Amino acid sequence: MDTKQTQNFQEVDFPQPEQHHTVLTAIVFEGGLAVLALVIGYFCSFSPARTLFWSFQAVLLGFAATIPMLVMFVFLDRAKSLPLLRIQQLVRMFIFTFFSKCTTAQIFLICILAGIGEELFFRGLMQDGIASGIGGTIGLVCGIVISSFFFGVAHLITPTYGVIAFFMSLYFAALFLLSGNILVPMIAHALYDYCVIRFLLRRQ
């Protein structure tokens, strides 16, 4: 990152939490999303986990689906446009602040919970629930777009990052739609998060 460009950014001071606070917060938030999805689904007579089943093929697809996202991350990480430089700075500071004191096992656990919780909520509940409720192609499109919109809002670090998150959600939605198994985007999501966090921590 160019020094002059970096100086144009206002430093963001994230309060550095204790190690156990980071892990507990992640467990409560990400795990809470999974519980919330199941509770809402229960009252709506719809199971967000109805497409969740174990298969070796789903695991392989989840691992393979991570590769295009990591390629995109490398591309964005090397980009020099000001909005992307701003994102790079904020993400690096956030990752270092909240994960630098965590062990590898704790980071892995947090990423697994993120993959399960967020995919169960946005894909299993919102995307599949809306698609099933409306029906047909319109329902399918509405489920994908609406769930991806709220996924982007939930990751709205900056407007540009929100747009990136929206398109990542479309990718997860496509994985879910094409595989018919929510385990695929869960694995891809968790593995991508883990690889990015470990990469940024090592470089820091």
Task: Locate the domains of the chain by residue range.
Answer: 17-203
Of 37-41, 45-49, 82-86, which range is least confident?
Answer: 82-86
**Interval 160-170: pLDDT, tens:** 999 999 999 99
**Interval 107-135: pLDDT, tens:** 999 999 999 999 999 999 999 999 999 99
- Which pLDDT band holds residue 21 (cuts at 50, 70, 90)? confident
Q: Is the pLDDT of residue 12 over 60?
A: no
**Interval 173-199: pLDDT, tens:** 999 999 999 999 999 999 999 999 999
3-class secondary structure for the chain?
CCHHHHHCCCCCCCCCCCHHHHHHHHHHHHHHHHHHHHHHHHHCCCCCCCCCCCCHHHHHHHHHHHHHHHHHHHHHHHCCCHHHHHHHHHHHHHHHHHHCCCCHHHHHHHHHHHHHHHHHHHHHHHHHHHHHHHCHHHHHHHHHHHHHHHHHHHCCCCHHHHHHHHHHHHHHHHHHHHHCCCHHHHHHHHHHHHHHHHHHHHHC
- Integer Cα distance of 114 and 30 in angstroms: 5
User: What is the value of pTM for the model shown?
Assistant: 0.88
Q: Is the pLDDT of residue 8 over 80?
A: no
State the pLDDT at residue 2: 45
What does the pLDDT average to over 52-72? 97
